[in-house]
Amino acid sequence: MGDQAYAPRMPRHWLLLPLLLASPAPADDLKVTLRDTSSLTLRNCSDTSGAIRFAAAGDDAARFVRSATRGDGTPLARDGGAYVARDWHAGECATFTIDARAIAARRDEDRGYALGADLLLSPHAFLWQAGDAPPRVTFELADDLEVATPWRPLDAFPHRRFQVRETPRHWPALVAVGAFAARDVAAGAGTLRVALPGVDDAAASATLLRFAGEVANDVATTFRAAFAASPQLLVVPTGRSSRAVTFGQTLRGGGTSVVLYVDAARPLADYHADWTLTHELVHLVHPYLGDDGRWIGEGVATYYQNVIRARAGRITPRQAWRALDAGFGRGRANPSTLTLRETSRRMDRGLYMRAYWSGTAIALTGDVALRTRATPASLDRAIAGALDCCRERGRRDARLWLATLDSSVGGDVLARAHDVVVDGTAFPDVAAAYAALGLERHGDELHFSAEPAAVALRTAIMGGDD
């Protein structure tokens, strides 16, 4: 499981989809037209006059262009990986015809895949722009097609007009196009936009939409503003698998998107037995924290995948505590002579357990410290406060994000915990938190104290009957 550009590589054999819309596009929107999923047409009008240059974020995007013409039908000149004109007239429009199936045929997570007639496409391969300003995009679609993007919708469902968010151009993203089921799911103070490219069975679609909605509401019960920015969820079928959910990742390019890979033939209970979607949706409560901050982003998601599922009754509180305790054991058993900061940067070299569970330990110890201090708070409240005030503060800067959480509840508990562990090699010490929680290991067993203060603290965190 992972967040943004550092997500673990997924198997190279799934996916789906391209783009497009209804009602006339405003003149300053990029307009993408799709009558079927074989090719798409992108129209880009510009008020620039004189020299102009159209570029896409993908370094091989030009290989998928079948034609690139000016308003009078004459071809745009090719200049390396870009298209140019030296005598552009203000208000003139360029038209790009792009082979969507050729993009999908690459079967590359950085470009796209086909799932039957549905496609998943990276906008890096087809979004040709003049300039760097994040564009608005309008889709014009055949009546039987649907589109799902990570971009902020500017209209009501079914969405056809979007605002691309300003993010680094290389950050990954996926756009889906095809005849698939889609739905906006209300959750807390926001909406999760769910799409099921490649799922062609109505009963399976209904089950997966229900699953997505229920997990989104589990998360929103703890973090009401988690979905305030209307993120995208793509649920992608992988074929028969030994697991109901095979993989998940969070992408941040142009907006926020979660991609969940599933065996689409499973019953609802099998999906709820898995923690992956809860984990990925929790990533939406923090900004992209960069390579140095991967450990705490994954740790917060891992902590709350247990806490939220216990609060929702998906697992019992004691199952959640035992899962956390077992994870800390795996983290300690994955030793590293690197500092935690360096371990985070090199996580892909077999150090996942050390990084994930170090971050989880800091989430737990920080939560306990906040709940037991003289002016009690909680990690829930700290994150909720940061979501309300400044949800992107701390992008690529884990310490700044943690300081923002501290600021929302007063004090410096979380930033100080970061400073203690980030440049050390020891696994974070959870002994004080365990003592407050009344948790004690006896051999392979985790024992739970009946002392009232410990029971009350455990219940406050996990809910339910201790």
pLDDT, tens only, 360-369: 999 999 999 9
* Rounded to 5°, angle at Cα 466 from 276 and 450: 135
Q: What pLDDT is attached to residue 349? A: 87
In single-letter form, the type of residue at position 243 comes to R
CA pair distance 132, 55, nearest whole angstrom: 9
CA 74 vs. chain centroid, Å, equals 41
Q: What pLDDT is attached to residue 108? A: 78
Task: State whether 280 and 293 are in the same domain.
Answer: no
CA pair distance 329, 361, nearest whole angstrom: 11
Residues in the chain: 466
Q: What pLDDT is attached to residue 25? A: 59
**Looking at the DSSP assignment, which residues form a beta bridge with residue 249?**
2, 259
Give the residue ranges of DSSP H helices in 286-392. 294-311, 317-332, 340-345, 352-372, 379-390
In single-letter form, the type of residue at position 168 comes to P
Decide: 84 and 53 in contact? Cβ < 8 Å.
Answer: yes
Tokens (6 digits) for 425: 């090699």
Q: End of a domain among 259, 284, 309?
A: 284
Crossing angle of helices 352-372/294-311, nearest 10°? 60
DSSP string, 376-421: ---HHHHHHHHHHHHTTTTTT-HHHHHHHHHHHHSS-HHHHHHHHH
Where do we find the tokens 């067993």? 445
C-alpha pair distances (Å), 236 with each of 250, 256, 347, 383, 466: 13, 17, 26, 29, 37
Task: State whether 347 and 267 are in the same domain.
Answer: no
Q: What pLDDT is attached to residue 24? A: 52
Q: H or E segment at 205?
A: helix 202-222
CA pair distance 101, 103, nearest whole angstrom: 5
Task: State whether 280 and 294 are in the same domain.
Answer: no
Residues 6+ apart with CB under 8 A from 78: 62, 68, 84
Positive or negative torsion for Cα 336, 338, 341, 342: negative
Task: State whether 102 and 184 are in the same domain.
Answer: yes
Q: H or E segment at 262?
A: strand 257-262
Q: What pLDDT is attached to residue 444? A: 87
Decide: 265 and 176 in contact? Cβ < 8 Å.
Answer: no
Q: Domain span at residue 235?
A: 2-284
Task: State whether 276 and 326 are in the same domain.
Answer: no
Backbone angles phi, psi at 235, to 5 degrees: -105, 115
Where do we find the tokens 């079914």? 158
Give the residue ranges of DSSP H helices in 66-201. 100-105
Task: State whether 271 and 319 are in the same domain.
Answer: no
User: Would you tell me how many other CB atoms lie within 10 Å of the CB of residue 374?
Assistant: 5
Task: State whether 261 and 359 are in the same domain.
Answer: no
Task: State whether 332 and 220 are in the same domain.
Answer: no
Q: What pLDDT is attached to residue 10? A: 36
Task: State whether 318 and 279 are in the same domain.
Answer: no
CA 328 vs. chain centroid, Å, equals 25
Q: End of a domain among 284, 302, 318?
A: 284
Number of domains in the chain: 2
User: Would you tell me how many other CB atoms lie within 10 Å of the CB of residue 367?
Assistant: 26
Domain CATH number, residue 218: 2.60.40.3650
Decide: 16 and 178 in contact? Cβ < 8 Å.
Answer: yes
Long-range contacts of 369-376 (CB under 8 A, 24+ apart): 369/413, 369/417, 369/433, 370/409, 370/411, 370/413, 371/457, 371/460, 371/461, 372/436, 372/457, 373/411, 373/413, 375/410, 375/411
Q: End of a domain among 284, 299, 319?
A: 284
Maximum distance among all Cα pairs of the chain, rounded to whole angstroms? 81
| CA contacts within 13 A on the Cβ side of 357 | 22
* Peptide bond preceding 197 in cis form (omega within 30 of 0): no
Q: What is the pTM of this model?
A: 0.93
Positive or negative torsion for Cα 161, 166, 169, 171: negative
Task: State whether 275 and 409 are in the same domain.
Answer: no
Task: State whether 363 and 423 are in the same domain.
Answer: yes
Task: State whether 397 and 373 are in the same domain.
Answer: yes
Q: What pLDDT is attached to residue 336? A: 84
Three-class secondary structure of residue 203 per DSSP? helix
Would you write out the chain's pLDDT as a tens digit for each of its 466 residues?
677 543 433 332 333 333 333 345 566 799 999 999 999 999 999 998 999 999 999 999 999 999 999 999 999 999 999 999 999 999 999 999 999 999 999 887 778 899 999 999 999 999 999 988 999 999 999 999 999 999 999 999 999 999 999 999 889 999 999 999 999 999 999 999 999 999 999 999 999 999 999 999 999 999 999 999 999 999 999 999 999 999 999 999 999 999 999 999 999 999 999 999 999 999 999 999 999 999 999 999 999 999 999 999 999 999 999 999 999 999 999 888 999 999 999 998 889 999 999 999 999 999 999 999 999 999 999 999 999 999 999 999 999 999 999 999 999 999 999 999 999 999 999 999 999 999 999 888 999 999 999 999 999 999 988 8
